Amino acid sequence: MNRAFAFLLLFGIQLSPSSAHAAQWLVDPAKSWLGFTGTMAKAPFDGRFQRWRAIIDFDPAHPEQGRARVTIDMASAVTGDTQKDVALPQGDWFDVKAFPEAVFEVQTFRAKATPSSYDAIATLTMRGVKMDLTTPLSIEVSGDTLRAKGYVSLLRSDFGVGQGQWTSAQWVALEVATAFEVTATRIP
């Protein structure tokens, strides 16, 4: 199982220094989203992160030279359910007072056999825990527009999300699915 909290994971994206061949892309937040799906009492629920900005460093001719640094405002998570929205920022869950951001940092993109398919070789840091992960995604470039989307599952317990009575999967499943869609414009 791929592990990511690609609260892509998990995002505001800031870049590492650019490579010689990669193009920089500015993400349009109005046309992009980062979400997650969890399960509580055997009922699925969806959420999104409302605040993030993004820049991507990527050239399909040289994906291995691509880089990205994604920073997510963890306090911006919303599910539409008041009880969950109040609980998520608290110490048992995201603990935003101690860990206000999650960071997803891509060191390289690896092309796969299918056109427009890549793996993002990355690390995710959340709640002070840093993990290596591989996130599959599709990236399509058309002129000055880049579109990317991906989906990855992770275990919340790997990052300490869900403390106390929430540590086990009795009420809230350990597996969390994350998904994102990004539309970006080439930076001249």
DSSP codes joined into one string, 102-159: EEEEEEEEEE-SSTTEEEEEEEEEETTEEEEEEEEEEEEEETTEEEEEEEEEEEGGGG
Number of domains in the chain: 1
Residue 18 lies in a domain: no
Residue 87 lies in a domain: yes
Residue 108 lies in a domain: yes
Q: What mean pLDDT comes out for the span 67-73? A: 92
d(CA 74, CA 51): 8
d(CA 15, CA 52): 14
Whether the pLDDT of residue 177 is over 60: the answer is yes
d(CA 147, CA 41): 35
CATH code assigned at 110: 2.40.128.110
Share of the chain above pLDDT 90, in %: 83
Q: What mean pLDDT comes out for the span 155-160? A: 97
Residue with tokens 């414009």: 185
Q: What mean pLDDT comes out for the span 178-186? A: 95
Residue 156 lies in a domain: yes
Residue type at 26 in one-letter notation: L
* Beta-bridge partners for 184: 27, 146
Residue 14 lies in a domain: no
**DSSP helix/strand/coil, 1:** coil
Residue 177 lies in a domain: yes
Read off the pLDDT of residues 22-63 as tens digits, 9 standing for 90 and up.
799 999 989 999 999 999 999 999 999 999 877 899 999 999
Whether the pLDDT of residue 101 is over 90: the answer is yes
Residue 15 lies in a domain: no
Whether the pLDDT of residue 4 is over 60: the answer is no
Q: How far is CA 184 from CA 13, 111, 143, in A?
A: 12, 20, 11
pTM of the model: 0.85
Domain residues for the domain of 112 are 23-186
State the average pLDDT for the chain.
89
Residue 11 lies in a domain: no
Q: What mean pLDDT comes out for the span 174-184? A: 95
Q: What mean pLDDT comes out for the span 108-122? A: 96
Q: What is the pLDDT of residue 21?
A: 55
